[in-house]
């Protein structure tokens, strides 16, 4: 039968007044009903089931989650912020040495005063079974002092060392803003002392200048550059205990006498370099945000891989309130350029100063900063908020109370702790393992990819259901009850629940999964699939109409009651529609099961594969082999093999004059090859065309972003050089007038300042 003849037959049927066909008004009414099925009721499941499976896998890996939205956002992370102590490094600290102010220039040694401070200046408490709880620094220091905590009531304590008994009258917890912790102690002789410990930079500002060694800053930086965690200790005499009532903490921690420093080592976790390396390979930039010394942070960043082997430019606020730039050897540097290869390390106060005074420059410089040191909790929030404002999807990983604000400010927060940080963070690693970062990001990408795959499948299923109903409305026919049960129930539900069970990829890829429901990848994939499905459905009907043995369905619609509408399926048109569109539902799900870079290989989703292969086998079998199994769907069936329907009390005979729906063997094979061709076409289209375009677009986008950065950097550098040239001209004129610039009088600044 030619195409012209098919068109003529269609027009005659459409315009015919024969009541065996539906009138045009009824057809359009049914078409409107069919389009209502384009968005199936199962669609919301696509956004919940994949997340649920990922939640279960995370729970099995000891990662607790309390926010489903954060899991999907984790699939788009581009910047990962890390605290240092307890996150990139081990949870505990090891005491190494002490350097007393009395023997500052003679090596590592402690004094009796330092021993008293180590014994008493802490906030350790003891449980009923004798277990000590408190800050790791406090516990390591107290263990090194060899003291014994006899009693602790929160704000006070009684400590014994040897034969001496120390009474701690008041204890002040560590303050993240002043970066100090202090106690008031009554010594065995009756004297009352205020003892303060904290970061070297902060404690030194609270000490009398004459009590600080001349080489204090140099020694402090030297130990920090070697990766040591340092605590400075100081004290002062208090007149009486009664004077404490009117004494504020700020007054208590002032006019101190410097005692010395305590050196601890905080070793890098064994897993940290591997985690940072995989993040770098996935184009996820790792950034350290720590409250520790900037040089200690740089040391850990270099050993972990956050900083590459290149030079680091360091920015710190000097005494004049300006930013002094230098390299890691302490040599003065000019203001850094905006070249993306630049690696910067800034203190928290330098960053905040730069953000306030030169916001545009700070925002342009932000992507080049790898280490933020000496950050208060508010500084950490400022850093994360800045990158969020720059439209980067951010992740914060921390373990302490000073990380809570940043954990909440980031799009994705992961706490490696079961303390305060775990309360505000949407994710908590119960095993406190940094590899949880990779696990979370992989699950986030897998959940996002699976969500879009399930969403596209249900959209395709709805479209397939819509157009096959339109065709059936034209024919005034319908699927049998078991056809509807499998099409709308078994296949749709089983694929929607098993498709998202794909495991996450074993390694993070350089590209990110799409998160757009109406993006080019989602829309072009669905439209391409539907175009192919339309074509193969049309091919199936054309081939059927071209067969010499084919006759249009033979029954009188008016002779059937409304209850018998499901028995209008006993014809070859419905057989072809069911077999072709049924396999389209199966092969659409198969194509969406491709994992690409975000999920494991398709065959690793063995539950889905088992269902897909089982359904395919059944569909191919009933296409080729007539029998009771095929009669289950009234396909390739004769009256002798008819089975009872879903609602029929007994088997209903074949409803056509031929008493059969068995197709000739040759046509069965033609139909089978049409179905196979349909499956191969959509698989090829999705895997090679859509995925190929996605890869090329991702590569092109990265190249364009790189070129854009280079152009912007060149423009910014030209502007900067223009400003510098003008400054040099002014300096030369001042020098000519007899006013030298700097100590050398050569016009060269000791350190370029902002």
The whole-angstrom separation of Cα 417 and Cα 138 is: 18
The whole-angstrom separation of Cα 359 and Cα 672 is: 66
Please give the average per-residue pLDDT across 27-34, as a whole number.
60
The whole-angstrom separation of Cα 146 and Cα 160 is: 9
pLDDT digits (tens, 9 = 90+) for 244-264: 777 889 999 999 999 999 999
Most distant CA atoms of the chain, gap in Å: 117
The whole-angstrom separation of Cα 743 and Cα 504 is: 61
The whole-angstrom separation of Cα 315 and Cα 298 is: 12
Cβ neighbours around 115 below 10 Å, total:
17
Residue 278 phi/psi, 5-degree rounding, is -65, -35
Alpha carbon of residue 340 to chain centroid: 23
Please give the average per-residue pLDDT across 727-735, as a whole number.
37
Alpha carbon of residue 318 to chain centroid: 37
Identify the pLDDT of residue 381. Answer: 96
Please give the average per-residue pLDDT across 160-178, as a whole number.
90
Determine contact, residues 371/341, Cβ cutoff 8 Å.
no
pLDDT at 754 over 60: no
Identify the pLDDT of residue 13. Answer: 45
19 — pLDDT class (breaks 50, 70, 90): very low
- Structure letter (DSSP) for residue 267: P
pLDDT digits (tens, 9 = 90+) for 609-639: 999 999 999 999 999 999 999 999 999 999 8
Determine contact, residues 448/76, Cβ cutoff 8 Å.
yes
pLDDT digits (tens, 9 = 90+) for 513-558: 999 999 999 999 999 999 999 999 999 999 999 999 998 766 555 5
Give me the sign of the Cα torsion angle 136, 140, 145, 148: positive
Identify the pLDDT of residue 707. Answer: 65
Could you write out the DSSP letters of every residue in 737-754?
TT---SSSSSS--SS-B-
Identify the pLDDT of residue 527. Answer: 95
Q: Which of 148-152, 342-346, 654-658 has the highest mean pLDDT?
A: 342-346
Identify the pLDDT of residue 109. Answer: 66
Taking alpha carbons only, the member of 445, 531, 452 closest to residue 499 is 452
Half-sphere exposure in the Cβ direction for 587 (13 Å, CA): 28
The whole-angstrom separation of Cα 149 and Cα 445 is: 49
Taking alpha carbons only, the member of 444, 742, 456, 484 closest to residue 589 is 456
Half-sphere exposure in the Cβ direction for 397 (13 Å, CA): 29
The whole-angstrom separation of Cα 445 and Cα 412 is: 13
Residue 330 phi/psi, 5-degree rounding, is 90, 0
Please give the average per-residue pLDDT across 489-505, as a whole number.
94
pLDDT at 591 over 70: yes
Please give the average per-residue pLDDT across 56-62, as a whole number.
95
Please give the average per-residue pLDDT across 103-126, as a whole number.
84
Give the number of residues written for the chain: 754
30 — pLDDT class (breaks 50, 70, 90): low
Alpha-carbon dihedral 21, 26, 27, 33, rounded to 10 degrees: -140
Identify the pLDDT of residue 154. Answer: 77
The whole-angstrom separation of Cα 109 and Cα 317 is: 32
709 — pLDDT class (breaks 50, 70, 90): low
pLDDT digits (tens, 9 = 90+) for 662-693: 999 999 999 999 999 999 999 999 999 998 88
Residue 59 phi/psi, 5-degree rounding, is -65, -40
Q: Which of 34-38, 195-199, 310-314 has the highest mean pLDDT?
A: 195-199
The whole-angstrom separation of Cα 299 and Cα 274 is: 17
Identify the pLDDT of residue 738. Answer: 37
pLDDT at 695 over 60: yes
Composition of the chain by helix, strand, coil, percent to 5: 55, 15, 30
Of the chain, the percentage scoring pLDDT greater than 90 comes to 57
Taking alpha carbons only, the member of 658, 607, 622 closest to residue 502 is 607
658 — pLDDT class (breaks 50, 70, 90): confident
**What is the rounded average pLDDT for all residues in the chain?**
85
Identify the pLDDT of residue 554. Answer: 60
- Structure letter (DSSP) for residue 88: I
Give me the sign of the Cα torsion angle 471, 473, 479, 481: positive
Identify the pLDDT of residue 599. Answer: 94
The token pair that represents 729 in the structure block: 């001209």
Identify the pLDDT of residue 703. Answer: 65
Determine contact, residues 593/608, Cβ cutoff 8 Å.
yes
pLDDT at 56 over 70: yes
């Amino acid at each position: 039968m030619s195409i012209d003849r098919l068109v003529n037959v269609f027009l005659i049927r459409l315009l015919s007044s024969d009541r065996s066909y539906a009138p045009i008004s009824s057809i359009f009414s049914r078409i409107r009903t069919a389009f209502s099925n384009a968005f199936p009721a199962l669609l919301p499941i696509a956004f919940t089931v994949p997340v649920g499976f990922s939640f279960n896998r995370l729970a099995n890996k000891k990662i607790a989650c309390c926010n489903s939205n954060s899991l999907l956002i984790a699939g788009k992370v581009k910047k990962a912020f890390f605290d240092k102590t307890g996150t990139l490094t081990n949870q505990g600290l090891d005491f190494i040495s002490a350097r007393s102010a009395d023997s500052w220039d003679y090596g590592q040694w402690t004094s009796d005063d330092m021993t008293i401070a180590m014994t008493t200046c802490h906030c350790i408490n003891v449980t009923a079974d004798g277990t000590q709880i408190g800050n790791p620094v406090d516990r390591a220091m107290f263990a090194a002092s060899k003291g014994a905590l006899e009693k602790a009531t929160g704000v006070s304590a009684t400590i014994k060392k040897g034969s001496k008994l120390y009474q701690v009258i008041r204890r002040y917890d560590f303050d993240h803003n002043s970066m100090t912790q202090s106690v008031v102690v009554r010594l065995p002789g009756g004297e009352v002392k205020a003892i303060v410990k904290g970061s070297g930079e902060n404690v030194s500002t609270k000490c009398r200048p004459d009590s600080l060694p001349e080489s204090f800053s140099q020694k402090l930086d030297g130990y920090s550059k070697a990766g040591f965690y340092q605590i400075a200790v100081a004290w002062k005499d208090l007149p009486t205990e009664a004077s404490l009532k009117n004494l504020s903490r700020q007054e208590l921690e002032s006019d101190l006498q410097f005692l010395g420093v305590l050196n601890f080592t905080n070793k890098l976790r064994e897993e940290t370099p591997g985690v940072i390396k995989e993040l770098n390979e996935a184009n996820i930039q790792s950034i350290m945000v720590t409250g520790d010394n900037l040089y200690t942070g740089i040391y850990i960043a270099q050993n972990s891989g956050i900083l590459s082997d290149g030079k680091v430019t360091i920015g710190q606020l000097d005494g004049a309130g300006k930013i002094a730039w230098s390299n890691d050897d302490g040599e003065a540097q000019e203001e850094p350029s905006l070249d993306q290869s630049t690696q910067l390390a800034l203190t928290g106060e330098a960053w905040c100063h730069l953000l306030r005074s030169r916001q545009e420059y700070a925002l342009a410089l932000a992507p080049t900063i790898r280490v933020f040191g000496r950050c208060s909790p508010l500084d950490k929030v400022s850093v994360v908020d800045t990158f969020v404002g720059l439209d980067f999807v951010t992740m914060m990983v921390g373990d302490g109370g000073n990380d809570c604000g940043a954990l909440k400010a980031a799009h994705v927060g992961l706490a490696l702790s079961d303390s305060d940080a775990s309360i505000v963070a949407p994710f908590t690693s119960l095993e406190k393992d940094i590899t949880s970062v990779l696990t979370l990001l992989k699950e986030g990408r897998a959940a996002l990819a699976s969500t879009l795959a399930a969403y596209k499948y249900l959209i395709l299923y709805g479209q397939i259901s819509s157009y096959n109903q339109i065709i059936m409305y034209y024919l005034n026919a319908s699927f049998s009850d078991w056809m509807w049960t499998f099409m709308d129930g078994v296949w749709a539900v089983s694929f929607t629940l098993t498709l998202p069970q794909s495991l996450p990829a074993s390694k993070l890829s350089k590209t990110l999964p799409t998160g757009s429901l109406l993006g080019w990848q989602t829309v072009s994939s669905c439209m391409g699939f539907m175009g192919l499905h339309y074509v193969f459905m049309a091919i199936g009907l054309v081939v059927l109409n071209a067969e010499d043995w084919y006759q249009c369905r033979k029954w009188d619609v008016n002779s059937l009651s409304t209850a018998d509408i499901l028995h209008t399926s006993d014809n070859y048109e419905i057989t072809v529609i069911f077999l072709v569109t049924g396999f389209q539902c199966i092969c659409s799900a198969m194509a969406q099961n491709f994992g690409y870079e975000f999920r494991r290989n398709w065959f690793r989703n063995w539950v889905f594969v088992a269902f897909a292969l089982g359904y395919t086998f059944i569909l191919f079998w009933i296409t080729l082999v007539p029998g009771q199994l095929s009669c289950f769907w009234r396909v390739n069936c004769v009256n002798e093999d008819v089975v009872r329907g879903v609602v029929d009390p007994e088997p209903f005979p074949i409803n056509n004059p031929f008493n059969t729906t068995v197709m000739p063997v040759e046509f069965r094979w033609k139909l089978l090859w049409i179905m196979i061709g349909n499956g191969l076409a959509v698989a090829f289209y999705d895997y090679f065309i859509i995925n190929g375009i996605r890869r090329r677009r991702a590569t092109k986008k990265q190249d364009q972003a790189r070129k854009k950065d280079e152009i912007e950097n060149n423009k910014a550098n030209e502007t900067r050089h223009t400003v510098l040239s003008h400054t040099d001209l002014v300096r030369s004129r001042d020098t000519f007038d007899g006013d030298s610039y700097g100590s050398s009088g050569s016009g060269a600044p000791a350190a370029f300042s902002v």
